[in-house]
Amino acid sequence: MKNLENIKGSRVYGRRQGKSLRSASAIRLDQYFPKYSLSLDEDGGLDYENLFNHKPKEIWLEIGFGKGEHLSAQAIANPNVGIIGCEPFLNGVSGLVDHMDRESLSNIRFYMDDARLLMDALPDGFLSRAFILFPDPWPKKRHHKRRIVSPGNLQVLSRLLKDNAELRIGTDHHDYCRWILARMMENPDFTWQDHGPDQWHKRAEDWPATRYEKKALEVGRKSTYMTFRRKPRYS
């Protein structure tokens, strides 16, 4: 799989590869990489005007899509939307490719590396929606700086999201949930859309479940589903 040798060695905390892939999955990955994976040029640039075969109505981004359950379900439900997923974990990308293959999905592009590298290559107001679902909680205090929901990353998302665009964040981790809300409240560009526990403990119908959410449910952990809106720039 020669494409995989080109992955930039950016600082992503967590696994890049787990169990070795079944040969059918490895063959599928080889087939899908040239057509559907995104790569940055040497200067970190991306030909973002021509990511999809047809110009999508909107472009959405999912950061850390795991094995791609949510991403592929959104791609099925929204065929006119182009969805970019970022996930450095090879077995996760393989899971997504299996979904794409099974459902014949062509409105997905994936970037198998640190989402922050890709986000830096995108222009202002490029995205109509973004998802960060069950991000790694990094519970130890000394690891909090690894959390993907950080003031710097929220600034980047604020730059990338169109006026009134949604940012959806889900977590089953109580402390990270409080952290996320605090970081979101500190950022003047977002408003929280949920109005009480009835809303934030209930996943919206157009918010498909993820693997991590299901795992949390199995061990009795409640999840929180937060929706934020990017405020209009000039209001």
Q: Given the rule CB under 6 A, which residues bind ligand SAM?
A: 12, 14, 63-66, 86-89, 92, 114-116, 133-136, 148, 210-213
Is 116 or 231 the residue whose CB approaches ligand SAM more closely? 116
- CB-based contacts of 162: which residues, under 8 Å, 6+ apart? 125, 126, 127, 128, 230
Annotated catalytic residue within 30, 136, 163, 198: 136
Give the angle 134-103-213 at the CA atoms, nearest 5°: 15
Say how far apart CA 150 and CA 147 lie, in whole Å: 6
Say how far apart CA 166 and CA 74 lie, in whole Å: 14
DSSP code of residue 66: T
Comparing every residue's Cβ against ligand SAM, the nearest one is: 64
| Nearest distance, CB of residue 17 and ligand SAM, angstroms | 10
| Nearest distance, CB of residue 91 and ligand SAM, angstroms | 9
Tokens of 196: 């009480």
Is 113 or 189 the residue whose CB approaches ligand SAM more closely? 113
For residue 111, how many other CB atoms are within 10 A of its CB?
23
Is 152 or 188 the residue whose CB approaches ligand SAM more closely? 152
| Nearest distance, CB of residue 12 and ligand SAM, angstroms | 5
Is 40 or 231 the residue whose CB approaches ligand SAM more closely? 40
- In the residue annotation, 41 being an active-site residue is answered as no
| Nearest distance, CB of residue 149 and ligand SAM, angstroms | 11
Tokens of 169: 């964040």
Say how far apart CA 59 and CA 51 lie, in whole Å: 10
Give catalytic residues, as residue numbers. Answer: 136
